[in-house]
Copies of this chain bind each other. A is one copy, B any other.
């Protein structure tokens, strides 16, 4: 066994320049929503050269729209391809999906960037640029892991399905399209930016809107009206109580360092239109965290039932109940058993390569892992080299060392998970030894 480990380690050392160059070219191809074609072409060419069976297609918006888990601000995906590359196993091993998204969020205010957001500039072992951490660095780790196996003549028994998908940042339509195209596996790994922590659980989330009613009056006689702003304070406190109740149920040690495992965030408030009038309507919008153990529907129902109970807090709401709406984006939660064999595999190989125990936590945000788990029936782990803190921020960067260490861990994990045919030279050695006898 030491043999192939040494080879992989050496191969990755020898291919740092090639990997760095690939990552830089990917960062320099700005793949914001609708502009993924350039970066996907680089990916497709690379995996074709590596000898994978390549599948490229434009997701069918019409078909996707019918699916209950579809969400995107668009339903037309011309020139926004998904790219999948399959390395078929020899048979008898476990299969795996390696999923990474190619889309990046917009670069925002360019004045906040020290360099061009798509420079791919390298300083002090870091590469900079939009998407380098979220998650082109992780994608390169996947590619290098597969390439390391290929070029060292390592044959796996199980299938490896590499996916470069669109739309993760906008609701997961790319991964959903891959699931609907039939791609499933025994497990999945998604190298989103976790700072190399291992996330067997991911918080899901949904957006909601609450409309709070009041009754208008002139501000000089405000006591003749009912302020929707004051009533909103009651609603906010009521929602806080729900958050407390929901989080009190969560006792999973994965959350021991998380103050609020599934927060309910109120992000937007807007109400009233005249300083001298008592406001009769306030609109609030927020994000409800969804636990890995619950369904979106359960969470929705709990919120709806809880809001109905507010009439017990304040009689006003009997005749003027808050109106609850679900809108916009939602991210399905994900969970895999911490004793799942892929977890053990990943932890083992992390220790092997990094020489220390990995941090295992639950993530506070969703990934496409929720869709893979709940729609694709493929339990998923999130583990990647990117820097969590700079995702979506100016001067996004990644530590190049982490890209290569992650590639090595994943390569070894693939061998352990999928199973490996004896190496040709080992076979030769066995044959030679037999001949000797």
A364 touches B275 (CB 8 A): no
A267 touches B263 (CB 8 A): no
Using A267-B276, A269-B229, A269-B272 as known contacts, say yes or no to A286 and B219 having CB atoms under 8 A apart: yes
A267 touches B275 (CB 8 A): yes
Using A267-B277, A269-B270, A275-B285 as known contacts, say yes or no to A229 and B218 having CB atoms under 8 A apart: no
B268 touches A223 (CB 8 A): no
A75 within 8 A of B: no
B269 touches A276 (CB 8 A): no
Residue-wise, chain A 259-275 has the 8 Å CB interface mask toward B (1 for contact) of 11001011111111111
Residue-wise, chain A 271-312 has the 8 Å CB interface mask toward B (1 for contact) of 111111111001011110100000000000000000000000
Cα distance A179–B364 in the bound complex, in angstroms: 65
Using A203-B220, A220-B205 as known contacts, say yes or no to A268 and B263 having CB atoms under 8 A apart: no
A233 within 8 A of B: yes
Interface size class of A (residues with CB under 8 A): 35 or more
B287 touches A223 (CB 8 A): no
A220 touches B263 (CB 8 A): yes
Interface centre among A274, A276, A285, A365 (most CB of B within 10 A): A276
Q: Which residue of B269, B287, B289, B329 is within 8 Å of A271 (Cβ)?
A: B269
A221 touches B268 (CB 8 A): no
B207 touches A276 (CB 8 A): yes
A150 within 8 A of B: no
A236 within 8 A of B: yes
Q: Looking across the interface, which residue of chain B has its beta carbon closest to that of A392?
A: B218
Q: Which residue of B267, B275, B284, B287 is within 8 Å of A287 (Cβ)?
A: B275
A232: chain B residues within 8 A (beta carbon): 269
A328 within 8 A of B: yes
A277: chain B residues within 8 A (beta carbon): 265, 267
A219 touches B273 (CB 8 A): no
B266 touches A227 (CB 8 A): yes
A230 within 8 A of B: yes
A365: chain B residues within 8 A (beta carbon): 218, 220
Using A205-B276, A236-B229, A275-B268 as known contacts, say yes or no to A287 and B220 having CB atoms under 8 A apart: yes
A215 within 8 A of B: no
A289: chain B residues within 8 A (beta carbon): 219-220
Cα distance A330–B305 in the bound complex, in angstroms: 45
Cα distance A278–B266 in the bound complex, in angstroms: 7
A66-104 CB contacts (< 8 Å) to partner B: none
Using A265-B275, A270-B270, A278-B267 as known contacts, say yes or no to A259 and B227 having CB atoms under 8 A apart: no
Q: List 18 A-B contacts (CB under 8 A).
A: A208-B275, A218-B365, A219-B267, A220-B287, A220-B365, A222-B263, A223-B259, A223-B260, A227-B265, A229-B236, A233-B233, A268-B272, A268-B275, A269-B269, A269-B271, A272-B285, A275-B328, A276-B287
